[in-house]
Structure 1
Amino acid sequence: MTVQTFNPTDLSQSTANWAVSQRIVGAFAPHAQIVPNPTVALDPGNLLNGTTLTEVNAQSVGPFTPPSNGFRIDRVVIDRSTGAATIVTGTVNNLTPPAIPTGTLPVARVMLLPTTDAIGNDLIVDERTLVDQTPATQNSVVVRAHRNNVGQSGVTNNAWAKALLTTTDINVGNAFDTSTSRFLPLVAGKYLLHAQVMMNCGVNGSIYAGLYVNGTNLSLCRSLTPIATPTYAATSSICYLNGTTDYVEMKVLNTIITDGILDGTPTATFFTATRLP
């Protein structure tokens, strides 16, 4: 393990250490102007958003407007993405500072009196907290669609037919359109998809379940029907959807029945989709 220490005989290394320390502890430091006035000075700072590093120049925030009576505590916050500073005005004669707006980070509290015409360091409370442990908000998309106990006729043999799903139990993100029976999410990402179908395909027939993305088969599963009894097939896959034009459809195919009827029971024929973290 390598340990760096302050060494007054090695001025170049010491200068570098101090520069790094200043960058870490001095980011967005609030203080009075060199000649105090109704504004607050913020030192330069930096923000990391994912893989984007944003360097922010020194800023002057204000002017602050003092209350006409009593006292008021205002807040200085910065935008989480750009680092731009703004004032959040507090409530007169309230010791509780104003709430931190969504999408911002706190920098300082400022005490204001009716007689405040310049803001000195004695009126500024540093409250910089530039690391937020709140988990990042995920744009959730969760869907479960089915036919609500109504069979679908016309599933011709040896031809893929789109499963017309008319009902959603879950449609977080409004990604499933029951008028078109399409899953078309508005959030880009990787999605876990599942399709299950059930129907009677006759003796020695077959039933296929298929997932189609933009009209092209993504995955399929075949089940054999040695006797004339309802049989199901199910398939799952993961794919990336762009959040704008990519769509998914569930399709079914049987190999014998000329006018097959897709079972409409919600537990037998259904489609699910989930956006992965």
Structure 2
Amino acid sequence: MVVACVRSEVLHEVNRVGPEISRDVDDFGVRVNWNVTIENENQPILRIVEAKINASEIESDEEPTHPEEIWVKYFPRSAFGRKFKQYILDNAMFKPRNIVNMLTLARDLRPDDHSISFSSIDQVQLEFSKRTWREIEEELSGEYSSDEVAAIKSTLIGFASEFDIPKLQKRIDHLSKFDPNVHSFSSKYKAFDMITSLYRVGAIGNLYFVGSAKKEIRFGWIFRDNYDPLYDKKFMVHESLRKFLQLSFRAEGKK
């Protein structure tokens, strides 16, 4: 018997090849949802963190802390204006590996401390952002050459946190005049292609407004099961990547 674990966004791409794979997954697969609730306080992915801490406590001959008390005992209450649970979920793209990565970096910064402080979380932002971008590059390398991946990075670094297709195309056209990698990339691909790929790997998501007054904000991310980008809307770079890409954390138009 062979058991495989496959991310839902990967299945979405594979299923476009034909219906046979989709039927097998529906018949024999078990779907594991990390974001099954609206309330961030109750996300299943957070139970992994709690279970790991309890296991470490037991291993150290300590009484296991009640799950609800773990977040008070070992972590800051908030980070960058959000409850800490919400912050790590937002930054980790709902990926267990990313959560472990961030918390491990913060823990290793002060290994003798018995809890993780906001100061530690703040100090590892750049390194976490670098590692997250490295994973994005690895996923892009399945579609592009190393020079083309470098061109995508050059296009994004120092660009804008929010943009639409025309704005990104203008950026590509400008850089192609003096960046050889971007010049070569632009001869084969357009902004549409770059956006499609970046959305697929979770590096960017949609940002748009709805309602009669267009004041209700909506976001679309592949890791929240919004598999198809809305090309006529704005896109935004995921916040976990902005530190490395030297992008603003403020919304456009705000100072």
The normalised TM-score by structure 1 is 0.18
Bigger strand share:
1
Bigger helix share:
2
The normalised TM-score by structure 2 is 0.19
**Structure of higher CA gyration radius:** 1
